[in-house]
Amino acid sequence: MFWPNKINAWHISCLTADPLRPDPVLAGGLEAGRRGVRARPGDGGRGGPPKLPWWRRLRRRFYWLLLLAVAGAAERLPVAAGRNCGRALARVAFGVRTRERRVALANLAGALPEVDDRGRSRLARECADAAGRNLFDTLAAGRLLAAGGVVAAGGVVAAGGVVADLPDDDGCGLVDRIVAERAAGRGVLVLSGHLGCWELQGAWLARELAARGAGPLHVVAGTVRNPAVDRWLTRRRVALGLQVLRREDGAGPLLGLLRAGGVAAVLVDQNTAVDSMPVPFFGRPAPTPTGPARLAVGLGSAVIVTAMSRAADGKGHEVWHAPVWRADRASPRDEQVDACLRWTNNHLEARIRRNPAEWVWYHRRWEPLKETAAASDKSGA
């Protein structure tokens, strides 16, 4: 029902066997489970996932081993060298992944029409560079947080600091806001997007909430189609202090968590196969997941929109958050759901406009894109 919180998907999509697309193998098994059919190897949706051809099994094995190698290197490389290696890897991917490049240029043309072809091409390359640097920070999240920790709210990343929790107009950082909401007995729904190093933000927030006695942080996550990668990613998130709620388990676990006053984070800025409604995003209707907003409205949970971005010096990260959104219980529920979604998209769009290169323009956020993508590729790729 909810968009999964994945590792930086595009710049290591080769390692995860392209998790952005629905997996027909997984879908077959899930459909069989819903019908109560006993799984039988090799019979597809009739009772279980079909057996993959040998070459796909070999490819998945290769991707998994490659991921282990890259992750191992990220744990050992100096930070500057690791970020440079990540950027180089992303540049190679940007050069060979023509489909993602076309989508990025089409999205940029539609969302930022004031930018000319040359500017869009430059932004697309900068997007790949940012993705590469964030890839390293994602894989080295545990080491980075252990070495630098959090910088107190104030907006400046000090020497050795990794994350600055930017204060709002009342002088409160994101962690302070969540702690206050939990102390008042309210569940907290943290909504964010694929902006900056979102996996590092999740690990950082889980650590800070635990230190303040306001944890644990739960994240709604889908299943990566490469089972070995999926298991590795889940173990890694748990090791970083995150509690994973599987999207395939439906709304029940998240409903229970919020009703009990817990904290959950969901990424809501992508066009996926979930219950969605068109909501303006960069001036165009974009399919936006409705599930989190419906739960927040129904339960009276606090909604906090947040995002992470790289600091101006390029060495650390900053965490920004919007004011707390609360449903007006006297208004019709559907109106409040729409208001929550518009609030979320408006704030995420404003953050993206501050530094467009840090968002994942290579995702098909708006549809249809075929004609626009083809035209943009010819003019700017």
Residues whose CB is less than 8 angstroms from the CB of residue 228 and which lie 6 or more positions away in sequence, other chains included: 60, 61, 64
Q: For the segment 41-60, what is each residue's pLDDT rounded down to a tens digit?
A: 444 445 556 788 989 999 99
Q: How confident is the model at residue 7, as a pLDDT?
A: 37
More confident residue, 183 or 1: 183
pLDDT of residue 48: 56
Residue 156 burial (10 A CB sphere; 0-12, 13-18, 19+): middle
- Main-chain dihedrals φ then ψ at residue 37, nearest 5 degrees: -85, 135
Region 286-303: mean pLDDT is: 96
Band (pLDDT 50/70/90 cuts) for residue 224 is confident
pLDDT of residue 367: 75
Q: Is the pLDDT of residue 202 over 80?
A: yes
Over range 141-153, report the average pLDDT: 70
Query: Does 147 have pLDDT greater than 80?
Result: no
- Please tell me whether the peptide bond between 285 and the residue prior to it is cis, using omega within 30 degrees of 0: no
In the chain, % of residues over pLDDT 90: 67
Output the pLDDT for position 107: 96
Lateral strand order in the sheet of 217-221: 150-151, 163-165, 317-321, 302-310, 188-192, 263-267, 217-221, 242-246
Number of C-beta neighbours around residue 53 at 10 A: 9
Averaged pLDDT, 211-228:
92
Q: Residue 206: which pLDDT band, with cuts at 50, 70 and 90?
A: very high
For residue 158, the model assigns a pLDDT of 39
What pLDDT, in 10s, does the model give residues 150-192?
544 444 443 345 899 999 999 999 999 999 999 999 999 999 9
At 17 the pLDDT is: 33
CA 165, 168, 171 angle in degrees (round to 5)?
A: 85
Does residue 312 have a pLDDT over 90? no
pLDDT of amino acid 34? 41
Mean pLDDT of the region 311-317? 85
Cα–Cα nearest to 337, from 284, 252, 275: 275
- The token pair at 79 is 């930070």
pLDDT band at 14 (very low <50, low <70, confident <90, very high): very low
Short-list 258, 257, 283, 344, CA closest to 110: 283
pLDDT at 49: 61
Examine the pLDDT at 223 and tell me if it is beyond 70: yes
Q: Which of 212, 213, 210, 217 is nearest to 306 (CA)?
A: 217
How much is the mean pLDDT over the chain? 83
pLDDT of 233 higher than 60:
yes
- Output the six-digit token pair for 174: 């994101």
Task: Report pLDDT digits (tens) over 118-141.
Answer: 999 999 999 999 999 999 999 999
Contact of 160 with 147, CB cutoff 8 Å: yes
Overall size of the chain counted in residues: 381
Long-range contacts, stretch 270-276, CB < 8 angstroms, 24+ apart? 270/3, 270/193, 270/194, 270/360, 270/363, 270/365, 271/363, 271/364, 271/365, 271/366, 271/367, 272/3, 272/4, 273/22, 274/1, 274/2, 274/3, 275/1
Check pLDDT > 90 for residue 36: no
Of the candidate ranges 22-26, 153-157, 165-169, 312-316, the one whose mean pLDDT is the lowest: 22-26
Higher-pLDDT residue of 315 and 46 is 315
What value does the mean pLDDT take over residues 68-79?
92
CB count, 10 Å around CB of 326? Answer: 16
